Structure 1
Amino acid sequence: MTQTLSCACGKFQVALVGDPFITAECHCNSCREGSKRLSSLPLSRPMTAANGGTPYVLYRKDRVSFPDGTALLRGYRLSEKAPTRRVVTTCCNTPVFVEFNGGHWLSLYASVWHDSPAPAMQIRTQTADLPAGTQLDEALPAGAWTTAGFYAKLLGVWIAMGFKVPKIDVAEAEPA
């Protein structure tokens, strides 16, 4: 099964084969800071949930393609040496994905699913990074063991891919 999603204006598309290997709402410092910085762009869709977490739908890179290429994408890093980049479209500033240097997966923003509901979130990760006093509901599993299981899942997917790390060429913007 292949699913095609598009940016808000329809000029950019991403094609996904099969189902995601996991969905996760991330609360790490990097995701919170990245969302804060990118909110200075006139984003066409929100990147975060009401609780401040960032909902992602994770796919193996070998199951993601860009039918119209990547010319309409721009990557933003928190610093020149940041291990992650947040990628949005240049046509309408739709948040598309987060990519880790050397990563074998893409964390697609759940907001890319605008014509249909995004897959339901399964877990919360990196909740130890939440600011003091932040309270989350108990709708999703969270905590150190959940995050450890998440990393184990990433390793299992990488093994299934034969330890390959497909490259995605995206133009980089100045640090956001």
Structure 2
Amino acid sequence: MSEPAKHITTARCSCGSVELEATGAPILGAACYCDDCQAGARQIEALPDALPVRDPDGGTAYLLYRKDRFRCSKGDQLLQGHKIRETSPTSRVVAACCNSAMFLRFDGGPHWVSVYRARFEGDAPPLQMRINTKFKPENGDVPSDVPGYSTFPLRFVAKLVAAKIAMLLRR
């Protein structure tokens, strides 16, 4: 008996020249308010013709996918990494064709990629939490639609660990 096909979700840049594919459900949907996400968003938003990266409340919404379930299906040569500091362990990857924020990756690091939720068309998987809310902008109120945490909650870490174990077991 064959396995059922896994659902593929597509994320696109604003002009359609870059496409990302994510297979299956995300590990987690989270909006982050940390200083680095805010600085990275400002850096990208300052690029010519770039769309907003942050939500109106100052958070940056991501869907986290396992690296083995994520790929660029179109326009890979247009992807360009941006660092907020030369020594940053992360790169915010932008589609250079239209300066759309696409995903955040850890250089040589973890087993997941944080894809900007706004890049998904249609009904993107929902947010499940808001993290690092202690860094929210002074003039921003954090919505209460999902649980909010001042740092990284145990639930966040547990989901990442479970995803790593599933990858190791090839599930």
- 1:10-29 alignment, distance < 5 Å: 10-29=16-35
User: Per the alignment, do residues 69 and 103 of structure 1 end up closer, same or farther by CA in structure 2, a change over 3 Å counting?
Assistant: farther
Q: 2:114 aligns with which of 104, 107, 112?
A: 107
Structure 2-normalised TM-score?
Answer: 0.85
CA positional deviation for 1:131: 4.6
User: Secondary structure of the equivalent of 1:66?
Assistant: strand
CA positional deviation for 1:6: 2.0
User: Per the alignment, do residues 129 and 44 of structure 1 end up closer, same or farther by CA in structure 2, a change over 3 Å counting?
Assistant: closer
User: Secondary structure of the equivalent of 1:67?
Assistant: strand
Residue 62 (structure 2) aligns with: 56
CA positional deviation for 1:70: 2.1
CA positional deviation for 1:22: 0.8
Query: How much identity, in percent, do the aligned residues show?
Result: 36
Q: 1:127 aligns with which of 133, 139, 144?
A: 133
**Mean CA deviation greater in 134-143 or 80-89:** 134-143
Please say if residues 126 and 147 of structure 1, whose CA atoms lie closer than 8 Å, have aligned partners that are also in contact: no
Per-residue deviation, residues 21-45 of structure 1 (Å, max 9, x unmatched): 1100101110011111221102443
- Distance in 2 (CA, whole Å) between partners of 1:141 and 1:107 is 19
- Distance in 2 (CA, whole Å) between partners of 1:147 and 1:43 is 35
- Distance in 1 (CA, whole Å) between partners of 2:158 and 2:151 is 10
Whether 2:10 is the aligned partner of 1:4: answer yes
Between Structure 1 and Structure 2, how many residues are aligned?
Answer: 163
Which structure 2 residue ranges, 5 or more long, are not aligned?
Answer: 1-6
4+ runs deviating over 4 angstroms = 131-134
User: Per the alignment, do residues 136 and 125 of structure 1 end up closer, same or farther by CA in structure 2, a change over 3 Å counting?
Assistant: same
Please say if residues 13 and 66 of structure 1, whose CA atoms lie closer than 8 Å, have aligned partners that are also in contact: yes
Please say if residues 123 and 146 of structure 1, whose CA atoms lie closer than 8 Å, have aligned partners that are also in contact: no
- Distance in 1 (CA, whole Å) between partners of 2:83 and 2:43 is 10
Per-residue deviation, residues 6-61 of structure 1 (Å, max 9, x unmatched): 22222111111111111001011100111112211024432111100000011111
Structure 1-normalised TM-score?
Answer: 0.83
- Distance in 1 (CA, whole Å) between partners of 2:21 and 2:140 is 36
- Distance in 2 (CA, whole Å) between partners of 1:74 and 1:145 is 29
- Distance in 2 (CA, whole Å) between partners of 1:8 and 1:133 is 28
Residue 149 (structure 1) aligns with: 155
Please say if residues 45 and 111 of structure 1, whose CA atoms lie closer than 8 Å, have aligned partners that are also in contact: no
